[in-house]
Amino acid sequence: MSAFAAPLLLLFDIDGTLLSGATRAHSEALHLALHEVHGVDARAHAAGVAPAGRTDGEIARLLLLAAGIDARRIDERADDVRAVCCREYSRLCPDDLSRTVLPGVSPLLDWLAERDDVALALVTGNYEPVARLKLGRAGLGYRFFAGQGGFGSDSEDRAALPAIARRRAGRDGVPHPRERTIVIGDTPRDIACARADGVRCAAVATGSFGVSELTGADAVAADASALRVTLAAALAA
């Protein structure tokens, strides 16, 4: 890497991209928060809200609207929902989530972390405390993602998160360059948020969407091992 070239900023999603099967306690914590803050049991409406690729705040809003809660009240109590959800997740989160790390993810991150032309960060719909604890319990936390990123606690709008992550990864008040940024996720919403910020997207078919459903990305990989090949090509370009 040139001494003057910015590293390639890789913005990883969590659920479906790095981990699989780590959402049960997360979902329960959000439902408990909605009940404590708004007095509603939104589980009856969960089937109508597909969570993949959405932020926690957006999921909460959709569930509450379906339960008949006024939009103004949702806005006024959003911080309370976030606080209670994070509190409840810290209580419910399993001590060990290492089994949820998707095959090939740990070797991929080991390889990326050893390079001086790469910077690792997160773009996830999880509230930040939830994301940090979830990755920590999975063994991927400060080992790979000690820095900042963009989180569901920063904005309810998933499309806003890459720009937030680039700003935090920048230097001297200048955001990290778009041309040196790639969003990595497993849903069409990950692709859409990358497009909204004008950055590239590498999709992995390790979540609930197949390769044919992710063709809007710049590259689509079947799994983490194939993603390594895609990223190696991007780094060599």
Cα–Cα separations (whole angstroms), residue 54 to 21, 57, 115:
16, 8, 31
In this prediction, residue 64 has a pLDDT band, given cuts at 50, 70 and 90, of very high
Question: For residue 212, what pLDDT is reported?
Answer: 96
Residue 236 and residue 63: Cα distance in Å, rounded? 44
15 φ, ψ (degrees, to nearest 5) = -70, 120
For the residues 37-49, what does the mean pLDDT come to?
A: 92
Mean pLDDT, range 53-65, rounded to an integer? 97
Q: Which candidate, 15, 12, 100, places its Cα nearest to that of 54? A: 15
The structure tokens listed for 92 are 């419910």
Q: Within the chain, where are the H helices?
A: 24-38, 56-66, 71-76, 78-92, 105-113, 128-138, 141-144, 161-169, 188-197, 224-236
CA dist 150 → 20, 49, 69, 155 (Å): 20, 22, 28, 8
Buried b (16+ CB within 10 A) or exposed e, 153-189: bbbbebebbbbbbbeebeeeeebbeeebbbbbbbbbb
Domain residue ranges of the chain, discontinuous segments joined by +: 8-21+97-236, 24-92
pLDDT, one tens digit per residue, over 126-181 is 999 999 999 999 999 888 998 889 999 999 999 999 999 999 999 999 999 999 99
The residue type at 20: S
Of 45-49, 108-112, 214-218, 225-229, the least confident = 45-49
CA angle 183, 48, 202 (to 5 degrees): 15
pLDDT at 3: 42
Asked if residue 202 has pLDDT above 90, the reply is: yes
Report the pLDDT value the prediction gives residue 83, as an integer from 0 to 100.
98
**Residue 4 pLDDT class (50, 70, 90 cuts):** low
pLDDT score of 2 more than 80: no
Looking at 108-122, 136-150, 187-201, which range is the least confident one?
136-150
Torsion, Cα of 198, 57, 223, 191 (10° steps): -20
* Homologous superfamily in CATH for domain 8-21+97-236: HAD superfamily/HAD-like (3.40.50.1000)
Q: Which pLDDT belongs to residue 143?
A: 85
Percentage of the chain lying above the pLDDT 70 cut: 98
C-alpha pair distances (Å), 115 with each of 30, 32, 57, 109, 172: 37, 42, 34, 10, 23
Per-residue model confidence as pLDDT tens digits over 74-109: 999 999 999 999 999 999 999 999 999 999 999 999
Q: For residue 141, what pLDDT is reported?
A: 85
